[in-house]
């Protein structure tokens, strides 16, 4: 049975992607699910530090180099039902070719787990964005700052290109490029081709999560981001929720103990529990109720 995969990514560093990936893994494991966390952040791997683990002897770098089998790289975390494939920066400075991502994704899906959670890190490199697109579910973690939203723009553009890569024959201009205006212009020339690309964009949803909300005006920002992403990128988006700023979060990192274990009654953790319930409901559903099928492809004139 193939493990369901959830990728955590985004354009800007410092929005809490690693923190959120760890807490998701623990909360799902506490519900009895077999979970494996995968630290696929090639530029800043650190998930093992959240569990107080020293540099592991086997890491993702050994798997990518072919030195070790991926099943041998799953380490115990001290949390029941939760394993970890650690990543060490010094092992992964030589980034693997993007052509290796599909094979790596298949290896991750073959792990002995019900759910795998991939921390793909920040930025818009081919490795991060293609791996994000390969997962069954992609969670875009943003923050209520302009810089985060700006970097997400570049991240999502690359994700869109990967989604359309199987059929795209005309490379769009990257300067200021947005998928939906481009597809609108393309539809006038070749409606069937434009429709096929649009379907590719909507094939899997992107979940929008905002971390670090501190003002009432920032509430429900994930809904606004989802609307903009849907309108300009053509992606099927689902608002996942917002997480309020909690000044105790850095303390948990300093003591190298997961926040959900250190501060289980905090509002931030309670909000995380609601997000986990939402994700698992969608994963358990036979069909995604939020999905509205596209219309039938248009008939070309003539």
Percentages of the chain per state (helix, strand, coil), in multiples of 5:
45, 15, 40
Q: Is 22 helix (H, G, I), strand (E, B) or coil?
A: helix
How far is Cα 220 from Cα 192, in angstroms, rounded to an integer? 36
- What is the structure's pLDDT at 65? 81
Report pLDDT for 164. Answer: 94
Tell the CATH topology of 4-140+246-284.
Answer: Rossmann fold (3.40.50)
CA distance 299 to 187: 11
Residues constituting the chain: 302
Q: Where are the domains of the chain?
A: 4-140+246-284
Which residue has 């506490």 as its token pair?
A: 30
pLDDT in tens for each of the 302 residues of the chain?
Answer: 578 999 999 999 889 999 999 999 999 999 999 999 999 987 788 899 899 888 788 888 888 888 889 999 999 999 999 999 998 755 555 655 666 788 888 888 889 999 999 999 999 988 899 999 999 999 999 999 889 999 999 999 999 999 999 998 877 877 889 999 999 999 999 999 999 999 999 999 999 999 999 876 677 889 999 999 999 999 999 999 999 988 887 777 777 788 888 889 899 999 999 999 998 888 777 544 444 444 444 444 33
Instruction: Say what the pTM is.
Output: 0.90
* Side-chain-side CA neighbours of residue 142 (13 Å): 32
Tell me the CA distances in angstroms from 75 to 39, 70, 84, 223, 250, one per residue in order: 12, 11, 5, 37, 25
pLDDT of residue 143: 92
The reported pLDDT for the residue numbered 56 is 84
């Amino acid at each position: 049975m193939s493990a369901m995969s959830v990728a955590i990514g985004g354009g800007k560093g410092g929005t809490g992607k690693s923190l959120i990936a760890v807490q998701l893994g623990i909360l799902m494991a506490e519900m009895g699910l077999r979970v494996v966390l995968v630290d696929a952040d090639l530029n800043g791997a650190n998930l093992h530090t959240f569990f107080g683990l020293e540099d592991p002897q086997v890491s993702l770098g050994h798997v990518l180099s072919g030195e070790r089998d991926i099943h041998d790289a799953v380490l115990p975390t001290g949390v029941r039902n939760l394993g970890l494939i650690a990543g060490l920066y010094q092992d992964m400075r030589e980034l693997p070719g993007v052509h290796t991502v599909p094979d790596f994704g298949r290896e991750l899906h073959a792990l002995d787990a019900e759910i795998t959670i991939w921390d793909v890190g920040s930025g818009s490199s081919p490795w991060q964005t293609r791996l994000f697109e390969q997962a069954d579910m992609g969670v875009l973690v943003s923050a209520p700052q302009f810089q985060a939203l700006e970097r997400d723009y570049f991240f999502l553009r690359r994700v869109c290109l990967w989604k359309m890569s199987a059929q795209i024959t005309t490379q769009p201009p990257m300067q200021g490029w947005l998928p939906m205006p481009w597809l609108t212009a393309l539809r006038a020339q070749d409606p069937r081709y434009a429709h096929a690309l649009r379907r590719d964009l909507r094939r899997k949803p992107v979940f929008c999560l905002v971390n670090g909300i501190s003002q009432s005006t920032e509430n429900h920002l994930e809904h606004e981001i989802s609307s903009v992403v849907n309108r300009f990128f053509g992606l099927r988006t689902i608002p996942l929720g917002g997480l309020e700023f909690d000044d105790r979060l850095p303390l948990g990192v300093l003591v190298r103990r997961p926040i959900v274990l250190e501060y289980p009654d905090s509002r931030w953790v309670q909000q995380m529990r609601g997000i986990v319930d939402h994700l698992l409901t969608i994963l358990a559903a036979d069909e995604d109720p939020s999905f509205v099928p596209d219309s039938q492809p248009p008939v070309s004139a003539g």
